[in-house]
Amino acid sequence: MSADRPVIAVLMTLDSKFDVAETFCRHLSDAGGEPWVVDLSLRGHSYKPAGVQTTAPLDHDSPEFKGLKNVSRADASQLMLESAQNCVRDKIESGTVTGIIGIGGANGSTMSCGVMRSLPPLLPKIMVTPVAATAAVQWYVAQSDIAMYPTIGDISLNRITEAILRNAAQAITAMSRSAGSSEDVPESHPPLIGVSSFGNVQITVDRITEALEKEKQEVIHFHASGPGGKALESLTLAGELQGIIDLVTSELADLVTGGVYSAGPDRLKSAAIRGIPQIIVPGCLDFSNWWVGEVPDRYRDREFYQYNQEILLMRSNRQEFETLARMFIDNLSKSTGPFKILIPKKGFSQMTNFPTQSLTGETRGQWLQPETDAVFVETLYQGLERDLIVELDLHINDSEFAEFAVAELRSLMR
pLDDT digits (tens, 9 = 90+) for 197-215: 999 999 999 999 999 999 9
Across 323-344, average pLDDT: 96
Cβ-proximal residues to 391 (8 Å cutoff; 6+ apart), any chain? 343, 345, 377
Q: How far apart are CA 82 and CA 32, in angstroms?
A: 30
Domains of the chain: 7-179 (3.40.50.12020), 192-413 (3.40.50.12030)
Question: Which band of pLDDT confidence, cut at 50, 70 and 90, is reported for residue 70?
Answer: confident
77-120, pLDDT tens digit by residue? Answer: 888 999 999 999 999 998 899 999 999 988 889 999 999 999 98
Contact 20, 48 (CB under 8 A): no
Q: How far apart are CA 343 and CA 264, in angstroms?
A: 23
Q: How many CB atoms lie within 10 A of CB 133?
A: 12
Element (H, E) at 55: strand 53-55
The pLDDT > 70 percentage for the chain reads 97
Look over the chain and give the mean of its residue pLDDT values, rounded to a whole number: 92
Cβ-proximal residues to 214 (8 Å cutoff; 6+ apart), any chain? none
| pLDDT value, residue 188 | 67
The alpha carbon torsion through 329, 332, 334, 335 (nearest 10 deg) reads -160
In the predicted model, is pLDDT for residue 184 greater than 50? no
At residue 99, the 3 state secondary structure works out as strand
Question: Alpha helix (H) ranges present in 103-240?
Answer: 106-117, 137-141, 159-179, 202-214, 227-237
At residue 197, the 3 state secondary structure works out as strand
In the predicted model, is pLDDT for residue 3 greater than 70? no
Q: How far apart are CA 390 and CA 397, in angstroms?
A: 16
Strand pairing category for 363-366 and 355-357? antiparallel
Residue among 234, 232, 274, 282 at smallest CA distance from 256: 282
pTM for the structure as a whole: 0.77
Question: Which band of pLDDT confidence, cut at 50, 70 and 90, is reported for residue 2?
Answer: low
CA dist list (Å): 155 to 81, 109, 158, 216, 227 = 20, 12, 9, 48, 28
Our separate counts of H helices and E strands in the chain read 13, 17
Question: Which band of pLDDT confidence, cut at 50, 70 and 90, is reported for residue 58?
Answer: confident
| pLDDT value, residue 16 | 85
Contact 198, 284 (CB under 8 A): yes
255-297, pLDDT tens digit by residue? Answer: 999 999 999 999 999 999 999 999 999 999 999 999 999 999 9
